[in-house]
Structure 1
């Protein structure tokens, strides 16, 4: 199968490269032919024209036919055909230049081999330039394809967050409406504020850590209204952290806190402590493991989603440490000045 991007002969960029090559090499060859033959420059112009035509044709065959062939599963066909092409080009080289320059034509084996070598020297540089150009174009195409694929994956991952968040909080709201309508009204106001955050940053890849922290504080407010004192929260922030400047993926803290509550039991007499730790380089959510008596149905997509977003956006991994007693997730905090390098 031939690689996409190889069949581009005759494009404007090819013509510019070939034209530029002969604009530089042509005058040099003209002077060389004049010196070799002692003829006037007008008399050697046909020789130069044949050189341009023959060499360009040979390069076209090599780049358009043999190069894709060698890169395919049929590479063995190229090995069989290439010697025939070289012998043909060497013979044609001897015939044309022997006729044009008035020299004897010797098509013996040794002379044909010398003709192959001489002709290869003539078109070799142009072949190298065009092959290099195709390689660069192919790399650019692959890069654009990877970028498009990454953007598509990120859009799909982002689309999974909003329905997940909406579904869980609407369940909370439904329960409050049934038991405490006044509290449900306050919950709805807070929930609307949180959802505005999601809408605001829906198209953003990263958000300031200060915004993310404020978001999870509002989210914790909603959780406390649902669970009372069954879950407690503690923040440990290093004194050197510049919260306004650190960047994280939107919804990171909310997802980790939600995941902890979803899978672990807490009660008012023995609340589950969820600790949020922030340093200059990382954000960590840790809590004891207390699996609920009734296992929660989960496909594990939330944490996997978060892991993929950090990998695609920042090229970094999140760290998950778990033991029978504790569960900890650590994600990187990226300084704004290093965002481009990280991505």
Structure 2
């Protein structure tokens, strides 16, 4: 359990361990149903067995059956509530040291009770106590296995729910980072246009409002159809061309067999990759920077030559890191960055419709 990454998972383990610890927590509603169902099946079998072994009437062996039920249930309670949490904690060695003592005590108690009830000679020598512990373990073993298995399944469900909640929380935080990022950059563009060309600024504002409607529409969505994403980036490219003229040349290479409406990507993927290309690379009308958007049935790639601007652009790299993390959380796969002194490309996966959801 300690190998599962994430502080949220470790907290879940601590939480479940606390829930398991302490005899006062013994027997939740489902535990009672399991124990009750078990004895409803096993107790009649024990009754018949004791009648056959002793030759007594059934009413005389009822106390023996009752003691078996009580003793075995108590033993399982101690094992599950006391020792299971120890084995799941950092103090597992304490449980390992105490378990033999418990087993020997249970063996001695087993011999005393059944010797008294059945009229057998009570022998508490070392060898007999060990045999009594083994005999008692056979008696309660199946119930212990069933209840421990149930607790293990419950623990796995708790961990799964915790991981899902943690993933959804991380996704919400990542998506929340995108809106201010997008707004800040485009308002800077609008400010420049207002100063130099108010009429063009009006058209830019209309296009920008259209783009922001797209972001609002998909704000709560983890994925968007690739066809919608391509339409969104076309609007964004329109704004870029009105600001930079022919300094940047955008080309699309779409595989004819790619079903764009059936393929999904993270919203804003293309906008971020195109924005990064322009932010870090210079272009001019005589020698435009060619930015290629290539689409296949399995991937989306944005590539361009490397042409660093003369004045270095301050960047924390958070945009690409954000995108990488979102793809990891949603699809359990990363994005690929290929670069050389003269070339740069980012490839992200596209996912067929129906194969999405936070990865846990």
Of stretches 330-339 and 318-327 in structure 1, the one that deviates more from structure 2 is 330-339
Alignment of 1:173-192 (within 5 A): 173-192=190-209
Partners in 1 of 2:30 and 2:300 — Cα distance?
49
The secondary structure found in structure 1 opposite 2:79 is helix
Query: 1:274 and 2:285 equivalent?
Result: no
Partners in 2 of 1:215 and 1:328 — Cα distance?
20
Of stretches 190-199 and 143-152 in structure 1, the one that deviates more from structure 2 is 143-152
Query: 1:234 and 2:251 equivalent?
Result: yes
- What is the CA distance between 1:65 and its match in structure 2? 1.1
Partners in 2 of 1:329 and 1:322 — Cα distance?
9
Query: 1:4 and 2:4 equivalent?
Result: no
Of stretches 332-341 and 153-162 in structure 1, the one that deviates more from structure 2 is 332-341
The secondary structure found in structure 2 opposite 1:4 is helix
- How many residues were matched structurally? 343
Partners in 2 of 1:74 and 1:339 — Cα distance?
40
Partners in 2 of 1:83 and 1:318 — Cα distance?
53
Write out per-residue CA displacement over residues 67-118 of structure 1, whole angstroms, 9 at most, x where no aligned residue: 2223333233223322221121111111111111122212122221211111
One of 264, 268, 274 as aligned partner of 1:251: 268
List 4+ stretches of structure 1 deviating above 6 A: none
The secondary structure found in structure 2 opposite 1:97 is helix
One of 297, 313, 334 as aligned partner of 2:330: 313
- What is the CA distance between 1:3 and its match in structure 2? 4.0
Alignment of 1:63-102 (within 5 A): 63-102=80-119
Partners in 2 of 1:218 and 1:73 — Cα distance?
57
The secondary structure found in structure 1 opposite 2:260 is coil
Of stretches 71-80 and 21-30 in structure 1, the one that deviates more from structure 2 is 71-80
Of stretches 254-263 and 173-182 in structure 1, the one that deviates more from structure 2 is 173-182
Partners in 2 of 1:110 and 1:168 — Cα distance?
81
Partners in 2 of 1:153 and 1:39 — Cα distance?
67
Write out per-residue CA displacement over residues 163-214 of structure 1, whole angstroms, 9 at most, x where no aligned residue: 1110011111111111111111111000000000000000001000000000
Query: 1:172 and 2:172 equivalent?
Result: no
Query: 1:201 and 2:212 equivalent?
Result: no
One of 27, 42, 49 as aligned partner of 2:44: 27
One of 60, 75, 81 as aligned partner of 2:77: 60
Partners in 2 of 1:275 and 1:188 — Cα distance?
26
Partners in 2 of 1:174 and 1:73 — Cα distance?
59
CA contact (8 A) 1:230 1:271 kept: yes
One of 333, 338, 342 as aligned partner of 2:355: 338
Q: CA RMSD in A?
A: 1.5
- What is the CA distance between 1:342 and its match in structure 2? 7.2
Gaps of 5+ in 2: 1-9
Partners in 1 of 2:333 and 2:90 — Cα distance?
36
Task: State TM-score, norm by structure 1.
Answer: 0.97
One of 79, 82, 104 as aligned partner of 2:121: 104
Partners in 2 of 1:220 and 1:309 — Cα distance?
24
Structure 1 pair 219/341, CA: closer, same or farther in 2 (3 Å)? closer
CA contact (8 A) 1:5 1:137 kept: no
One of 164, 169, 174 as aligned partner of 1:157: 174
Query: 1:126 and 2:126 equivalent?
Result: no
Partner of 2:309: 292
The secondary structure found in structure 1 opposite 2:16 is coil
Gaps of 5+ in 1: none
CA contact (8 A) 1:4 1:138 kept: no
Query: 1:142 and 2:159 equivalent?
Result: yes
Partner of 2:344: 327
CA contact (8 A) 2:167 2:358 kept: no
